[in-house]
Structure 1
Amino acid sequence: MAERATLLWISNDPLLPKNKAGCLRHKIIVSRPHLPEGLERPWRSRIEPRETMMTRLISYRTKPEAAAGNAELVTAVFAELKDVKPAGLRYLTLRLDDDTFVHLVAADAAEGTSALTQLAAFQTFQHGVRERCAEPPLVREATIVGNYRMLDEG
């Protein structure tokens, strides 16, 4: 019996039918030639399982007088991340022109965001965050659909 591999192809082609998320998903089953028992299957040795990542998008707008202080606290978090270098964590923060901050956090599902939340600078940042906000933080699960040189793919 031939060994089979499943490939998932996602497309944003407007002419093709969409799933609930608005993307077309095709499942393609590819058969591999049967090898006698005991022979090495070279394609297996080159495939490394990819860690499951949990991705969250957090956004909030700060009060105008608190925006600079919030940015300083966020900068301190990144300074500590640079020193600690926690594995399995990816983190990006943007400040928009209306003092809205957008945080994108991706972490190994097994670890969650604990590497981030355990940092002293992050705990300092979280202390009083609601008082700095004009609009409270909104936390949403996110899926990265595309990435060109913004997030490390390694």
Structure 2
Amino acid sequence: MGYKLIRYSVKDTGLEENRALVTKVFETLDETAPQNVRYLVLELDDGEFVHVVGEGNDTSALTGLAAFEAFTQKPCGSALDAGQAIACQNHRQLPCA
């Protein structure tokens, strides 16, 4: 499974809205429990968010969720970086490639 790493910055005025949108995505993931989705979101203390997404072959398991679509339609911040990644080492977070 390959992973995507997305990093973006959110202004103070958008932090609560971004947190709420992310929470809705995770609530929906908990309800639907797609087996091929690995998803981690980190909020840094400077207003940056880091998403690590692993989707397997079926990207619609995440991107097809209404909550995820709502999240992507309400940009609360500005993108800093995005790219492909592999899990080369970790401890009980993500399965290694």
The match for 1:14 is: none
Secondary structure of the residue that 1:92 maps to in structure 2? strand
The match for 2:91 is: 148
Structure 1 portions without partners, runs of 5+: 1-52
Matched AA of 1:87: Q
Secondary structure of the residue that 2:15 maps to in structure 1? helix
Q: What whole-Å deviation, never above 9, does each CA across 1:14-41 have from its counterpart, x for those lacking one?
A: xxxxxxxxxxxxxxxxxxxxxxxxxxxx
The match for 2:39 is: 91
% identity of equivalent residues:
40
The match for 1:44 is: none
The match for 1:66 is: 14
Following superposition, which runs of at least 4 residues in structure 1 exceed 3 angstroms of deviation? Answer: none
Pairing 1:114–2:60 present: yes
Structure 2 length-normalised TM: 0.90
Structure 2 portions without partners, runs of 5+: none
Question: Structure 1 pair 117/137, CA: closer, same or farther in 2 (3 Å)?
Answer: farther
2:71 pairs, out of 106, 109, 125, with 125
Question: Structure 1 pair 115/137, CA: closer, same or farther in 2 (3 Å)?
Answer: farther
The alignment of Structure 1 onto Structure 2 pairs a total of residues equal to 96
Q: Which has the larger radius of gyration?
A: 1
1:101 pairs, out of 49, 68, 72, with 49
- How far apart, in 2, do the equivalents of 1:118 and 1:91 lie? 14
Structure 1 length-normalised TM: 0.58
Compute the displacement of 1:138 (Å). Answer: 2.3
Q: Kindly indicate whether the alpha-carbon contact (under 8 Å) linking 2:3 and 2:54 is maintained by their aligned counterparts in 1.
A: yes
- How far apart, in 1, do the equivalents of 2:62 and 2:51 lie? 12
1:138 pairs, out of 76, 81, 84, with 81
Q: Kindly indicate whether the alpha-carbon contact (under 8 Å) linking 2:55 and 2:62 is maintained by their aligned counterparts in 1.
A: no
